[in-house]
Amino acid sequence: MNVLVTGGAGYIGSHAALKLLEVGCDVTVVDDLSCGHIGAIDAIRKVGELHFAEMNFGDVGAIAELLNTRSIDVVMHFAALTYVGESVEQPIRYYQNNTSNAICLFEAMRQAGVKRIVFSSTAATYGIPAQENIPITEDCPQEPINPYGWSKLMVERVLKDQLIAAQSNAEDFAFAALRYFNVAGCDPQSRLGEHHQPETHLIPICLDAALGKLEAVTVFGNDYQTPDGTCIRDYVHIDDLVDAHITVMKSLSNGDGKFYNIGIGKGYSVKNIVDACKEVTSNDFKVHVGSRRSGDPPILQANAKRIQDDLGWTAKYTHIKEIIESAWKWRKANPDGYVQCNNK
């Protein structure tokens, strides 16, 4: 299968590109390196042959040509801006990149006759779920509380409408949107890692504190309605997430419009994560309690039964320590992340 991976130099996209190569796909990566790392591309190329095009996924003409010349069968669309707080400050940038450019990508696919797509959506589309809706199923009302969540939800809507149009014209089309919860960990063989600039995610921040790169970790609020007062999240290992993509990709057939939650169905509080990071790193780094971060739902925990029932996918990594260990292994070996970092 010939797969186009957008955002393939980023954290999730690079892990997907590597795994796709390993399962025998022909992989083309599109990334403009605005957030991704050329070091990730170099690391993937140590494993297999990869076609890399440095371009923005919203460039209709260039993407359509690439889809044609590479004879692409399916697109995995990862490229996106992903900072909730930033999306509140710069909504246009988020809608431009995550929504408008996604529509451009779909137009390029239409022009090139590519009929299959797996789209990275997010649990942020659920907003703040009502207590009775936790753990969250795919049928939970989607009411995002920030432009990031809206920018992704709108793309889900566009895909649904495309499917409706394709069906009414008796055309072949299928998509799946995977709503990720908190993705964590690194390639089990430490060939790829997690490197964001700036880093805002809890686990990498704790690891930076353990490395002495940060003086302390700030816990954003301990007055939530949760057992220890800190927010609860569902952390899924990147390797499991990528397996879910490949399973879904292989399953897609004409007329499918699938939505799947990807999580492990278990919640860990911020305090649980901090304690687990201290244990894994054997470092008792400093922790302060600060004020709440705006836009943080108290609890995001998945019910991922639908993908299990439909396709037999379940997470292999169900213990938070194993997930953190894989992240720590790469971070310890690469304390400055991808050194050939090419961020613009």
> CB of 343: closest distance to ligand UFG in angstroms?
18
> CB of 50: closest distance to ligand UFG in angstroms?
25
CB of 40 or CB of 123, closer to ligand UFG: 123
- Positions touching ligand UFG (CB under 6 A) are 82, 84, 122-124, 181-182, 200-202, 205, 217-220, 231, 233, 270, 293, 296, 300
Strands 257-262 and 216-220: unpaired
CB of 53 or CB of 209, closer to ligand UFG: 209
Which residue is at the shortest CB distance from ligand UFG?
231
d(CA 177, CA 315): 18
* Coil, helix or strand at residue 218: strand
Active site residue 148: yes
CB of 33 or CB of 205, closer to ligand UFG: 205
Instruction: Please say whether the beta carbons of 274 and 222 come within 8 A.
Output: no
CB of 120 or CB of 162, closer to ligand UFG: 120
Annotated catalytic residue: which of 148, 260, 268, 317? 148
With 0-12 / 13-18 / 19 or more C-beta atoms within 10 angstroms meaning exposed / middle / buried, residue 226 is middle
Instruction: Please say whether the beta carbons of 179 and 123 come within 8 A.
Output: yes
d(CA 63, CA 151): 21
> CB of 78: closest distance to ligand UFG in angstroms?
12
**b/e map of 166-191 (b: 16 or more CB within 10 Å)?**
beeeeeebbbbbbbbbbbbbbbbebb
> CB of 255: closest distance to ligand UFG in angstroms?
29
Catalytic residues: 148
